[in-house]
Amino acid sequence: MKIKETKIAYIILAVIFLIMILPWLKQGIPVTDDYRHHFSRFWILNEQAGNFNFSEWIPNMYGGWPQFHFYHPMFYVLNIPTILLLNPGDALKLATFLAYIISLLGTFFAGKTLFKNNRIALFGAIAYTLSSHFLFHATVSGALPRLTAIALVPITSALFIKALENKDGKSVAISGIFSAVLFMMHTSVAIPTFIVFAIYAVLNTLQEKSSRSIISGAIVALIILGISAAWVVPLIFEKEYASLPSQNSLESPYIEQTSRTFGIVNENGKFVRSNFFGYSIMALSIIGLFLLKNNRTTYIIKGGLIASVLLYFNFSGLLKFMPFFSTAISGSTTFFIAILVFNAVFLAAAVAEALSVSFKKSYILHLLLVVVIIELYPGISAFSYSWNQAPASDIYNPSAITDAWNFVKELPGNFMVFSSIGICAEAFHEKQEFGFDWVGCPQCVGEKTYKLHNEIWNNFTQGMKDDSLLGYLGVKYYVAPCSFNLNNKLAYSNGAVCVYENEKFTSLIESNAGITDVVFENGLISFTSSSNSKEKATIKANYFKPHWHAYIDGKETEISGAWPEYMAISIPEGEHSIELKYKTNILHIVSWCITFLTAILIFYFMKKDRK
């Protein structure tokens, strides 16, 4: 019995997927900043689900942090079943596998949508998923939301092109939905892609001499903004920045991040990839620009390739004229690479198919398949890690580090910890980790706050720290290798890892009144005050103060500014119960209403269009 061409294509894609996940079948997960960051978020979500205590603001991470406020939410929404059902290590692996599947199947479907040809679709899926830019984000970077966004670019692009060509309501609505998912997955991939989408619309308008493509593109843009309103509206309107103190550096021994290594090695200790496949794609796409006949689809893809190359290299400062690209949420020119590779691989695939038809043999496709087989596993292995061999159920930390964190866990009171070694500290000591675990996100916090924290981290890793400033920001204990004497009071030592006390620590709640019964938990800070006169209390709670409300004995009271990173309230004399609650405000309610209304309208018009 003859096997259908489509089934053969799916079998090939399945084999490639299995080869791609081979390095991931080791135990543990890679040790990179991004994997630690996502591990922490997965752990927090799992904990909240287990206690059925969900809250936007969480005290453990970054010294108090809104879970999704100002960070791309779609990656966590997409992976919520595995986050809730599995341990963070296994959930991270499956999230990576899911991105592989989206890339392979999504790009295959994109090829079939654009060209109605299984061979072109298969070629494009393999070429895109095995491209260096995709594998880098999969295994070297560990930036999983960005990886998943890159995986979504081909199918989203194909649906947008078909929406321009078909101009029917259903195509436009589906394109808008996928584009909104891409936008909420990672804006640094989405915005460059959308800029090229606008160029697609202009090219299609010039080709057809009709404004309907521009109208379709505008409707897609409105759908993107409408569906993502619950996230993007607060992102735009709610940022508040603090005026931060100057930072002085004090000499201290160099702190080595002994467990915070990227571990990117192969057998020769080098980060290597031959990329013959990539060179083949590049050569074929260049040939396609000149020799491939134009139809509606190839015309748009040719123009998209030229535009994305020019934008990638910022030819003649083109990006100065691109709206939103200079904003913090959009990333850099390098993220044009995803849409660039999409255009290149499908132009190359169309050329390979045309040459095969001309020769009446699939020599070109067969030759490229041989190149894939030669390069596939060595290429992926070059992106593998010197992984730890710990069970995937637990992110790896040496017992000396976890013993030190267990000591910190048992210490009474509320304070922050700075762990210069180890991975996902907050998941072990269950105190507030100051925020060094992942400080590379200027778009996630106020710009000045980011600069301050990043500067503190850089100074600390270079052997300089300011105990007064760190104490003011709530850091009471440093966890560091014992081989580096911090010249602070030693609180614990197991011979390998030491815990040092910062005696310049300032309480997370500072007041002349007596403060007892202090609680920091999800969305809530509470304490009891006692004084013989009216006093002031400053409360450490990082960021986004418009969401906080203060209550004294159940009655709301005004919160005043106590910058940086502190709030202040006035406390009457006597004994009082005080609560600060992190609440959703009217802006969030309105933005969620916009999202739901957009979803209802899309459903209505798609149903109407079907009739």
| Residue 542 included in any domain | yes
C-alpha to C-alpha distance for 475 and 462, rounded to whole angstroms: 18
pLDDT-wise least confident of 10-14, 191-195, 263-267, 430-434: 263-267
The per-residue pLDDT for range 242-275, each reduced to its tens digit, is 333 434 433 333 333 333 333 333 444 444 445 6
Determine what percent of the chain is predicted with pLDDT higher than 70. 72
**569 neighbors 578 (Cβ within 8 angstroms):** yes
Q: Higher model confidence: residue 52 or residue 346?
A: 346
Query: Could you tell me which of 165, 180, 286 has the C-alpha nearest to residue 230?
Result: 180
The yes-or-no verdict on residue 447 having pLDDT over 80 is: no
CATH of the domain at 515: 2.60.420
| Residue 576 included in any domain | yes
| Residue 414 included in any domain | no
The yes-or-no verdict on residue 194 having pLDDT over 50 is: yes
Mean pLDDT over all residues of the chain? Answer: 77
- CB-count exposure of residue 267 (10 Å: 0-12, 13-18, 19+): exposed
| Residue 285 included in any domain | no
The per-residue pLDDT for range 457-491, each reduced to its tens digit, is 777 767 778 888 888 878 899 998 887 778 899 99
The yes-or-no verdict on residue 573 having pLDDT over 80 is: yes
Q: How many domains does the chain have?
A: 1
Q: What is the pLDDT of residue 587?
A: 81
Name beta bridge partners: 433.
417
End-to-end CA distance of the chain: 40
Q: What is the pLDDT of residue 395?
A: 56
pLDDT-wise least confident of 92-106, 142-156, 190-204, 459-473: 459-473
Q: What is the pLDDT of residue 363?
A: 66
Structural domain that includes position 557: 509-587
Q: What is the pLDDT of residue 156?
A: 97
| Residue 525 included in any domain | yes
Full DSSP string of 383-407 = T-B----S-TTS----HHHHHHHHH
Determine what percent of the chain is predicted with pLDDT higher than 90. 22
Mean pLDDT of 174-183: 95
Structure tokens at 47: 């904990």
| Residue 557 included in any domain | yes
The yes-or-no verdict on residue 327 having pLDDT over 50 is: no
pTM comes to 0.81
The per-residue pLDDT for range 393-437, each reduced to its tens digit, is 445 677 888 899 999 999 988 888 988 777 778 878 888 887 654
Q: Report H helices in 412-508.
A: 426-429, 447-461, 467-472
The yes-or-no verdict on residue 381 having pLDDT over 90 is: no
**499 neighbors 492 (Cβ within 8 angstroms):** yes
Structure tokens at 334: 């390098």
The per-residue pLDDT for range 37-67, each reduced to its tens digit, is 787 788 888 877 777 766 777 776 665 666 6
| Residue 519 included in any domain | yes
Q: What is the pLDDT of residue 486?
A: 82
The per-residue pLDDT for range 70-91, each reduced to its tens digit, is 567 889 889 989 988 888 888 8
The yes-or-no verdict on residue 382 having pLDDT over 70 is: no
Continuous segment of H or E residues that includes residue 43: helix 33-51
Full DSSP string of 203-253 = HHHHHHT-THHHHHHHHHHHHHHHHTHHHHHHHHH------------EE--
